[in-house]
Amino acid sequence: MWDRLTPEERTWKEKAAEFADTVLRKHLREYDERNCFPEKIHEAAHDAGLMNIAIPKEFGGHGVSQKIIAVAGEELATVCSPSAFTMGFNHGSLQPILVAGTEAQKNIFVKDLLDRRGYASICLSEPDSAGSNLMAIRTRADRTADGWRITGEKCMVGNGCRSELFLVLADTFVDGRRSGLSFFAVPRGEGVTVSPNTDKIGFRCLTTPSISFREVGVPDDHRIGEVGGAEEILLQTLDYIRFGGTPVILGITVGALRDIVPFLETRKVFPDEPLIQKSHIQLQLGDLYSEVRNNPRDALAGGRPSRRGKALFHRDGDLETERLPPRRPRDERNRANVRLVRHRQRLPGPEEGPGRARHHDLRGNHGDPAVEPFPGPARFARQGWMALTW
């Protein structure tokens, strides 16, 4: 599968894998246990050139392709998926500006922000409305003589505890009349209140506070796009965010497989046989591995799915479509994967060389069972199955 990568793509993949092994693994569990933003990880990521890599070069990023985002994100998430999410949030949060902002807005709100290693958050969901029903938001922006006055509350704001700029989706009113949804760039300051980090079950280092806006005044040049024109900007932004999250979920599954195989080889059941020798375990594990191998095809082809269900590819500025190779029948995949499992599953490690694998000590990843309420393999296996059924 990785033979489809260009030398540049392979370089970024190896760079991300090295960072995951040397930095993410060192701080594994630390920031989730503390329920706070992973400052040390981000300092190291900035120094390593792994932050904001998909932002265009002229605005402070590296301008890499979607395929590089996919392969690098998977490597990071295989070791620590919450940290991988935090590292990529600027990409999605700044999309409204990159999609519909003026050159001046891109320079002020993107380039200047990234030059000082700043963070932005996109504010969509609200506590009084379902997250998927964004057309019914209550946050409003009223037109004033010198700009806009924004009032409302947003919840589950990714990286919100650390961000200094908020991209706020609001219902706009001009002369008291509703004018549709609009995006606004709102700096953190007077009238903006950030709550403590939400106390979640997992992904705790990905801070998700509530943000309150109390009659926050912003000039009209902080409005992104036309008044009432946020719907198309929002759809493009959500497309981008969903693609960016996919390799992270895939990385969780790959991490689950790397951990579960050694466990299955040593865990014995009646009559004193390793679980790995049970046919139903082989079939389930093989099918999961097959999904891991097949699911990245869209990303490796260089594009992301659109709302119309087609694959989009950006090559030399043109939009193209490409047919993906057909998927093997399920029974054929199972036969192949049973053989694979019997010969000790060889999963792609960070080197990604042909036939190379890396097997991890479960205890090294998950610590003392007295501290960890669920056994590491079981927890990661559940995450893996959730990733495939999401």
Q: Is the pLDDT of residue 292 over 80?
A: no
Tabulate helix, strand, coil % of the chain (nearest 5). Answer: 45, 15, 35
Distance CA 153, CA 210 (A): 7
Q: Does residue 61 surpass a pLDDT of 70? A: yes
**pLDDT of 305-316, one tens digit each?**
444 444 333 333
DSSP H helix total and E strand total for the chain: 13, 13
DSSP β-ladder status, 303-305 and 311-315:
antiparallel
Q: What is the pLDDT of residues 373-384, one digit of tens each?
A: 333 333 433 343
pLDDT reported for residue 371: 38
Q: How confident is the model at residue 36 (pLDDT cuts 50, 70, 90)?
A: very high
- At residue 171, the pLDDT reads 96
Tell me how far apart the alpha carbons of residues 134 and 284 are, in angstroms, rounded to a whole number.
38
The per-residue pLDDT for 213 is 98
CB atoms within 10 A of CB 374: 11
Q: Which domains does the chain have, with CATH numbers?
A: 2-99 (1.10.540.10), 119-231 (2.40.110.10), 233-389 (1.20.140)
Q: 271-289 as b/e, with b when 16 or more CB fall inside 10 Å?
A: eeeebbeeeebbebbbbbb
**Can you tell me the distance from the alpha carbon of 182 to that of 141, in angstroms, rounded to the nearest whole number?**
8
The arithmetic mean of pLDDT across residues 99-112, rounded, is 97
Residue-level pLDDT at 106 = 97
Return all residues near 226 (Cβ < 8 A) that are at least 6 apart: 182
Contact present, 184 and 248 (Cβ < 8 Å): no
More confident residue, 140 or 307: 140
162 — pLDDT class (breaks 50, 70, 90): very high
pLDDT of residue 130: 56
Residue 129: what pLDDT? 74
Residue type, 50: L
Share of the chain above pLDDT 90, in %: 56
- Backbone phi, psi, residue 381, to 5°: -65, -40
Rg of the chain taking only CA atoms, in angstroms: 23
The confidence band for 131, taking pLDDT boundaries of 50, 70 and 90, is low
Q: What is the DSSP string of 46-109?
A: HHHT-SSTTS-GGGTS----HHHHHHHHHHHHHHHHHHHHHHHHHHHHTHHHHHH--HHHHIII
Sequence-distant (≥ 6) Cβ neighbours of residue 22 within 8 angstroms: none
Single-letter code of the amino acid located at 254: V
- When pLDDT is cut at 50, 70 and 90, the band that residue 10 belongs to is very high
Give the pLDDT mean for 13-18. 96
Task: Give the tens place of pLDDT for each residue, 300-346.
Answer: 554 444 444 443 333 333 333 333 344 445 454 444 444 444 333 34
Mean pLDDT for the chain? 80
8 Å CB contact between 164 and 113:
yes
Strands 165-174 and 120-123 turn out to be parallel
Taking residues 9-13, report their average pLDDT. 94
Distance CA 346, CA 232 (A): 44
Q: Round to whole Å and give the CA distance between 339 and 334.
A: 9
Specify the pLDDT at position 2: 62
Position of tokens 């020798």?
277
Asked whether residue 364 carries a pLDDT value surpassing 60, the answer given is no
- In 10 A of CB 153, how many CB atoms? 17
The answer to whether residues 227 and 179 touch, using CB atoms and an 8 Å cutoff, is: yes
**What pLDDT was estimated at residue 43?**
97
pLDDT(349) > 70: no
What pLDDT shows up at residue 375?
Answer: 37
- What one-character-per-residue DSSP string does 308-367 give? TS-EEEEETTEEE--PPPPPPPHHHHHHHHHHHHHT------TT--TT------HHHHH-
pLDDT of residue 271: 86
216: β partners: 150
Give 45-59 pLDDT, tens digit per residue.
999 999 999 999 999
Contact criterion met (CB below 8 Å) for 69 and 58: no
Q: What is the mean pLDDT of residues 134-158?
A: 94
Stated as kind and residue range, the H or E segment containing 113 is helix 112-115
- Per mean pLDDT, which of 32-36, 99-103, 294-298 is the most reliable? 99-103
Question: Is 293 a residue whose pLDDT tops 90?
Answer: no
